[in-house]
Structure 1
Amino acid sequence: MSTAKAPDPKRRALGRGLEALLPTRQAAPAPAPAAPVVENSGKPLEVEVTAIDRNPFQTRTRFDEAALEELAQSIAATGVIQPIIVRALGKGRFQLIAGERRWLASQRAGKPTIPAVVREVSDEQAMEMTIVENLQRADLNPMEQARAYDRLSRDFKMTQDQMAKRTGKDRASVSNFLRLLRLPEAVQGKVEAGDLSFGHARALLALESEAQMMAAAQKIAALSMSVRQTETYVKNLLDPERKLGKVEAPAAEIDANVKAAQDQLQRSLGLKVRIEDTHGKGRVVIEYSSLEDFDTLLETLSR
């Protein structure tokens, strides 16, 4: 009698295990609870595209419609090859961290779900991941890159060296992109729209006033000037000798090699350069208008 009444602890544990594995109630159709989903296992899950919210930290503002449509057709035929990255928001919703083009194209292709890797990250981590992932891409326009670096600097207090290491860029490139934010908004818009390239924009930064930059940008875009033509045009606008109020000797008396060296330095540095030479002796004067320009100059000269 006593043996029959004594429960077997192993059978009791097994019973609980079977109940956990085979629940009697019907499984809810909603996505799985956040706790098991947000494990950083790296394994992709199929997430409903309508359950994903756009990333508010996204720095990209423009997408090539033709390329997006081409990607949608590819996804419709073969599916999404590389999973997107999301984080769980709770109540079955997710926020996009990386892979916005694939997400948008999947919607166009009529896909109900998309493979996604769920990461458990904070707001700051999500913002940093989004910005750094974008900066590692090759299709951001120069102004999007400039604003992304600026956001890393402002929101995360990163130095230019730190930003360079995190994105795999060199420090001089980071500094040059940040300098684009000194352009007037109208000129920034031309760069963002593709009417002016990074090279055009960098040449314009040598001008002193916003009015000069805007007038020059309009002429450069209207005449479809090349970057080299733009550099020559800006150099002529600067005319540093006349600005300093000097009565210069005729151009024929200026050594051609000195003039060529001056022009080359001015193009390379994006700053105003003046070489004063007398029989092989003289000085090189480099003018800068901000600490960012000075930092870039030091970086370039130290290399």
Structure 2
Amino acid sequence: MPPIRRNALGRGLDSLISMDDVPARGSSAINDIDVTLISPNPDQPRTTFDEAALDELAVSIRELGIIQPLSLRKTGPDAYQIIAGERRYRAAIKAGLTSVPAYIRTANDSELTEMALIENIQREDLNAIEIALTFKKLIDQYRLTQERLSERIGKKRATIANFLRLLKLPAEVQLGLRDKRVDMGHARALLSIEKPALQLKLYNEILRQGLSVRKVEELAKAYREADEAGEEAPAAKKADNRTNDYDILKKHLSASFRRPVQFTCNAKGKGKITFPFKNEDELEQLIAIFDTIKHSEG
């Protein structure tokens, strides 16, 4: 029997979070499906699962239950394949659940990939490289143009083109983007530089100094101008000690909470720390972390 949900935020998560699922053929009823009958989608867009984050989600699921049902397709008399919700599925198993709530959808192989991609993008679960690779796979495997893919998934063609351009970056930069060490703004600035060696040089400056997107855009322009003049690319000026201290604190908090924590502080020392979350899974992770901190202090 699944655990009873806790009213985590007064009104409850259900009143704060849209429960709409991916539009698709199939029943809109929520079914209770035995986890032993479910298998992952081998073409799932998400390629990495943080085990520590899964452990935190499992703790939250034990406390709150699964808030957003999985989306599955029936592949046999007693067999289902995941369209969307593999993180919840994995965490539910860790939490000891024997069944999970799910919508049963009807989809062929190409629709399965598209639906998984759309659901993850709508929930902002995928990193930029996972999205880019899935776009490329859909284009290559089903011989789609960017325009046709745009029509099928409801994204602007320019957006698809921008994601595909990320795959032209050096592998080291792509890994940094996948692991959220840099964001899309940084990546777009790096793409304005043609030479991979210069892209890597500026990428390493971003990591060393925690440069803002605006600063990277300025440096990218300076790199291009220096390259055209046959000069050495300029080095980024080192930030003052106070800024470095704040950057270190920001990185420490982001690492501890496994998300890009936002930290601001003015010259008088007044500021705020913000813990962003993109969906209910990440909110559950935050609640689990805060609960862990509270219990350790108690």
TM-score interval (norm. to shorter)? 0.5 to 0.7
Distance apart, 1:42 and its partner CA:
2.9
Gapped runs of 5+ residues in structure 1? 1-38, 246-303
Confirm or deny that 1:145 pairs with 2:127.
no
Q: Classify the secondary structure of the residue corresponding to 2:120.
A: helix
Q: In the alignment, is the contact (CA less than 8 A) between 1:136 and 1:167 conserved in 2?
A: no
Change (3 A) 1:86 1:233: same
Q: 1:236 to 1:96 in 2, by over 3 A?
A: same
User: 2:134 & 2:214 partners in 1: Cα distance?
Assistant: 28
Choose which of 48, 58, 67 in structure 2 pairs with 1:72.
58
**Match for residue 107 of structure 1?**
93
Q: Is the 8 A contact 2:47 2:130 kept in 1?
A: yes
In 1, Cα distance between equivalents of 2:78 and 2:227: 67
Question: In structure 1, how many angstroms separate the alpha carbons of the residues matched to 2:64 and 2:182?
Answer: 37
- The answer to whether the 8 Å contact 1:180/1:201 transfers is yes
The structure whose Rg is larger is 1
Gapped regions of structure 2 (runs ≥ 5): 1-24, 232-298
| Contact 2:45–2:113 under 8 Å retained in 1 | no
Question: Pick from 171, 175, 194: which aligns with 2:180?
Answer: 194
TM-score, length-scaled by structure 1: 0.61
CA deviation after TM superposition for structure 1 residue 98, in Å = 1.1
Residue 126 (str. 1) matches residue 112 (str. 2): yes
Instruction: Report whether the alignment pairs 1:53 with 2:39.
Output: yes
Q: 2:213 aligns with which of 222, 227, 232?
A: 227
Verify the 8 A CA contact 1:135 1:167 in the aligned structure 2.
no
Q: What is the CA–CA distance in structure 1 between the aligned matches of 2:158 and 2:175, rounded to whole Å?
A: 23
| 1: CA distance, partners of 2:230 / 2:208 | 30
Bigger Cα displacement from structure 2, 61-70 vs 118-127: 61-70
Partner AA of 2:139 in structure 1: S
Q: Distance in 1 between matches of 2:47 and 2:176?
A: 14
Per-residue deviation, residues 28-59 of structure 1 (Å, max 9, x unmatched):
xxxxxxxxxxx933323221112211111111
Q: Is the aligned partner of 1:206 residue 2:197?
A: no
Identify the range of structure 1 (147-156 vs 229-238) with the bigger mean alpha-carbon deviation.
147-156
Shift of 1:184: 1.1
**Distance between the aligned counterparts of 1:244 and 1:210, measured in 2?**
16
Please give the per-residue CA displacement for 1:92-136, whole angstroms capped at 9, x wherever unaligned: 222111111221221122110012222333222212211222222
* 1:158-197 correspondence to structure 2 within 5 Å: 158-197=144-183
Aligned pair count reads 207
Instruction: After TM superposition, give the deviation of residue 228 of structure 1 in Å.
Output: 1.1
TM-score normalised over the length of structure 2 = 0.62
Structure 1 runs of 4+ off > 6 angstroms? none
Taking only aligned residues, the RMSD between alpha carbons, in angstroms, comes to: 2.5
Aligned to 1:157: 143
Equivalent AA in structure 1 for residue 199 of structure 2 = M
Q: Shift in Å at residue 241 of structure 1?
A: 8.4
Larger relative contact order, structure 1 or 2 (CA cutoff 8 Å, min sep 6): 2
Judge which range, 160-169 or 232-241, deviates more: 160-169
Q: Distance in 2 between matches of 1:224 and 1:184?
A: 19
| C-alpha spacing 1:43/1:186, structure 2 compared with 1 (3 Å) | same
